[in-house]
Chains A and B, each alone.
Chain A
């Protein structure tokens, strides 16, 4: 059977991808960010996942204002890299796992989560920056990736509680897949940041650090957080943090925190990163 071998949360700031792509990762400003992922790269190299279910938000690349799915699962064999306005990032194409994705879709929909199935989709920095942070710059990504795109662009996104419950359904789906696969779940986005309007640049480190603590120890407390609280306390784009709850719901109640990294700033954003493993 497939099993979930770990969960990762990380911010997915586009400037981090640009720094790597343009050979600036050794500059002092960016080195502070990349250094926080050195242990993570070693961890994932040893953990050897076969598949990552990568929860992220599309930033108006695959989905325009024509159709706005709340939860969209990428079921394609491949996902091309989006051109976000300056050409596609020079990273390998993303190879999917259509069989597991189809199984997840079927299982999760019957658990009453009305996923949108997507068979053609470009993926943007929200998905590729976490891969770059965890794997560096390989010729090919070392594992398959199933994108799970969550709408956080048009308000309201799904609630924190709904996301956590989707994680529970995702966990059940993965664990009932009849092939010996090592699966990881990534929850990306956040932490506090606001990239629009006169309040841009907002950072709330105290809130972020408490959020990291609760992710490990008491995730159910996070399911009670309202959108209004996230908007006010973590900035209009900090609301991406609801996506972390999908990853957390996919893990056991009790987890071990393998690694934590928190850093301000990367461009306009507080970078937060956790690696969690189920306690055997």
Chain B
């Protein structure tokens, strides 16, 4: 690991830098293969067998099978590559964003209609930690 980055203190955010693009290379290249209809069909017919064509880690493969989006991001996935996977599932950016924030689809859609997640209180990790200390379990929203 190199030195810490200035963006590491932004809460709930993973910046897809060159190091992460190395970590997630095969995961992201798998996602990109889903830009072809025949590959989408092969993947959906047997997800495990299709994933085994790529030299991804077992953890990355399991995250794909589980559609665990935050975990895919932690393991080097990038949202624009992951989009090929959720588009293959017939899902949207908003659908996946709601899941990643731990909200229901209705709660998330309503938050966006109300003007989105405010920036106040969401700039620094310490703001989320303070909130967690005050209201246990409330830090994710």
The residues of A with any CB-CB pair to B shorter than 8 Å are 14-15, 18, 59-61, 64-66, 68, 82-87, 153-156, 192, 194-205, 207, 227-228, 231-233, 235-237, 264-265, 267-268, 270
- B2 smallest CB distance to A (angstroms): 13
- B6 smallest CB distance to A (angstroms): 5
Residues of B within 8 A of A156 (CB): 17
B94 touches A196 (CB 8 A): no
The residues of B with any CB-CB pair to A shorter than 8 Å are 6-7, 10-18, 21, 24-25, 28-29, 31-32, 34-37, 40, 70, 73, 78-81, 83-88, 90, 92-94, 96-98, 100-102, 108, 111-113, 115-119, 122-123, 140
A195 touches B97 (CB 8 A): yes
Cβ contact of A198, chosen from B78, B85, B100, B118, cutoff 8 A: B100
Q: How far is the CA of A205 from the CA of B84 in the complex (A)?
A: 29
The residue in B18, B25, B117 that gathers the most chain A C-beta atoms within 10 A of its C-beta is: B117
- B67 smallest CB distance to A (angstroms): 14
Cβ contact of A200, chosen from B32, B78, B97, cutoff 8 A: B97
Residues of A within 8 A of B122 (CB): 199, 202
- The SS class assigned to the B binding surface is helix
Cβ contact of B93, chosen from A68, A205, A268, cutoff 8 A: A268
Q: How far is the CA of A261 from the CA of B41 in the complex (A)?
A: 41
- A232 smallest CB distance to B (angstroms): 5
Residues of B within 8 A of A15 (CB): 92-94
B32 touches A201 (CB 8 A): no
